[in-house]
Structures are given as structure tokens and as C-alpha cells.
């Protein structure tokens, strides 16, 4: 009988309530031939295990920078961030990321694209190919395994991108404006798909989005950020019942949260 893995303690409090944690996070870009850019300043928050959080804010406020720091893709200048009690110091297989574009390799089939992390991490191919097929069925892409990205719509490509992010069963799913390029109807459908996938997988999810109604509809909490350097203006708990239906996005209850968040950008002269 094998013993359970030892997980480091959270920075403060119970690990499940601090599954993702940033404390005093600071990021300054220092290009060689131009002045430094202060992207993030004193960003602190904690996400519970299995929680869905969205991050909203004006363009250039550091939303994507924050997500890339959590993914271990770029270093931070100051402060500290941890996932599952472990300090983030580089990419981790416990984190999956979905980018703004699906970034599928055009010369590989959809199944082969989903399997890319398996090849990179040298995981068991047979086991994960079965999982890849299950994930593709979960997102409605059964029968498209042998198609190429150019044969799929944008929404279908993004669903394949989500499968690729989930193939190695990460504990955390980070999504950087994944539906921004989609038309309104496809985006609404993908919102429902994302909720369904999240409800079935129970991953801890953090979504960067420019859509305030989308953030309210999907999330347990919404992090509102200020203009650059990005700071947290408020973290708003979304007290709407689950499971959520699309009609709730236009409800009066959701509208109260949308207007509360939008007021931050209107008061600053910024339209998100």
C-alpha cells in the first residue's frame, strides 16, 4: 500500500481554501531598449480548490501577465505565488492552460494535437489516448479525431484546445480569453460547454476575460483589476445558484453584479 504524497502547507490557513495563492505579487518588465513597464503591483488573493474565478480589467492591466505567472511561464519580480502549497518557479504538469487562440498544429490531427502534452511529458500513450478520446467526446468532438484543425470551426478548435489542456489531468485550469475571437452565439455555447466541463472535472479554474457578463455568469468570484500597474480593486462573490442556465446571464440578479463591476471602469474613464 502506497502512502499519500506529502503536500506543502499553504502560505496561510487551510490548503484547500488556498489552493492557488498570490501574496504581494509584483511584476516589472525591463526591456533592453525602452523604459521599464510596471505591469502588476501588490496583487494578493487566494482561490479555493475547485473554485471558478474570473479576472476582469481594462486592456493592459496585467491580466494575462498574472495568468502566465500562475502558469510558471514568466517569472515575477516580487512577492510569492503558490499552487497546491508549492511555490511557482516554472511550468508545472499540475497546471493546464488554454490560450487566446487554439494554437493547434495544422499538420497534426485533432487527436494528435490533444496528445502533445503526453508526448512532451513522456506519459503512457495508450492510457492517455483513451483519455483523449473520452475528452473529445465530452466536448462534442467525437468523430473529429482524425480531422485537421483547418477543417474545424473556431469554436471546435477551442474545444480541442481545452481537451489538450486537460489531457494530463491537471489540478488547475487557466484560460486566457479563450473565446474572444468567436461570434456571440458560439461564445455563449462555449460558455455553457466550459461550465459543463468544469462541473464534471471539478478543476480549479481561473479565466481572464474582457466580458463582464461572461465573468459573472461563469464564476464563483470575480477579481476586478485597476489600470496598469494592475492591482486588485475588489474581489466580488457571485451569489447566483448553480447549475447555471444561459438565461441567467440576462437576469436582474446577474445585472446587479455586472453594473457593480462596470462602475469601476466607468469611473476611471475606461470602457472594458
Which domains occur in the chain, in start order? Answer: 16-94+171-267 (3.40.50.300), 105-169 (no CATH)
Q: Which residues of the chain have pLDDT under 50?
A: 1-12, 269-272
Nearby residues of 48 by Cβ (< 8 Å), 6 or more positions away: 16, 17, 18, 19, 204, 220
What's the chain look like in SS3? CCCCCCCCCCCCCCCHHHCEEEEEEEEEECCCCCCCEEEEEEEEEEECCCCEEEEECCCCCCHHHHHHHHCCCCCCCEEEEEECCEECCCCCCCEEEECCCCCCCCCCCHHHHHCHHHHHCCCCHHHHHHHHHHHHHHCCCCCCCCCCHHHCCHHHHHHHHHHHHHCCCCCEEEEECCCCCCCHHHHHHHHHHHHHHHHHHCCEEEEECCCHHHHHHHCCEEEEECCCCECEEEEEECCCCCCCCHHHHHCHHHHHHHHHHHHHHHHCCCCC
The predicted pLDDT at position 158 comes to 87
The predicted pLDDT at position 1 comes to 32
The predicted pLDDT at position 268 comes to 52
The predicted pLDDT at position 267 comes to 58
The predicted pLDDT at position 94 comes to 87
> pTM value?
0.85
The predicted pLDDT at position 72 comes to 93
Amino acid at each position: 500500500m502506497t502512502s499519500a504524497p506529502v503536500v506543502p502547507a499553504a502560505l496561510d490557513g487551510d490548503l484547500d481554501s488556498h489552493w492557488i495563492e498570490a501574496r504581494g505579487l509584483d511584476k516589472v518588465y525591463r526591456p533592453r531598449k525602452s523604459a521599464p513597464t510596471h505591469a502588476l503591483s501588490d496583487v494578493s488573493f487566494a482561490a479555493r480548490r475547485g473554485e471558478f474565478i474570473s479576472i476582469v480589467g481594462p486592456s493592459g492591466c496585467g491580466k494575462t501577465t498574472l495568468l502566465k505567472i500562475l502558469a510558471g511561464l514568466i517569472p515575477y519580480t516580487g512577492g510569492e505565488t503558490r499552487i497546491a502549497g508549492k511555490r511557482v518557479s516554472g511550468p508545472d504538469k499540475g497546471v493546464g492552460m488554454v490560450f487566446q487562440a487554439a494554437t493547434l498544429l495544422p499538420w497534426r490531427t485533432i487527436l494528435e494535437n490533444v496528445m502533445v502534452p503526453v508526448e512532451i511529458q513522456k506519459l503512457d500513450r495508450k492510457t492517455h489516448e483513451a483519455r483523449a478520446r473520452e475528452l473529445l467526446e465530452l466536448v462534442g468532438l467525437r468523430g473529429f479525431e482524425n480531422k485537421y484543425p483547418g477543417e474545424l470551426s473556431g469554436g471546435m478548435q477551442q474545444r480541442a484546445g481545452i481537451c489538450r489542456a486537460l489531457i494530463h489531468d491537471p489540478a488547475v485550469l487557466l484560460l486566457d480569453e479563450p473565446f474572444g475571437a468567436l461570434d456571440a452565439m458560439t461564445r455563449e455555447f462555449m460558455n455553457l460547454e466550459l461550465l459543463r466541463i468544469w462541473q464534471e472535472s471539478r478543476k480549479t479554474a481561473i479565466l481572464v476575460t474582457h466580458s463582464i457578463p461572461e465573468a459573472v455568469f461563469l464564476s464563483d468570484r470575480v477579481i476586478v483589476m485597476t489600470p496598469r500597474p494592475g492591482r486588485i480593486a475588489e474581489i466580488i462573490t457571485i451569489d447566483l445558484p448553480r447549475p447555471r442556465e444561459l438565461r441567467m446571464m440576462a437576469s436582474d440578479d446577474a445585472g446587479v453584479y455586472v453594473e457593480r463591476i462596470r462602475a469601476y471602469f466607468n469611473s476611471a474613464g475606461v470602457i472594458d
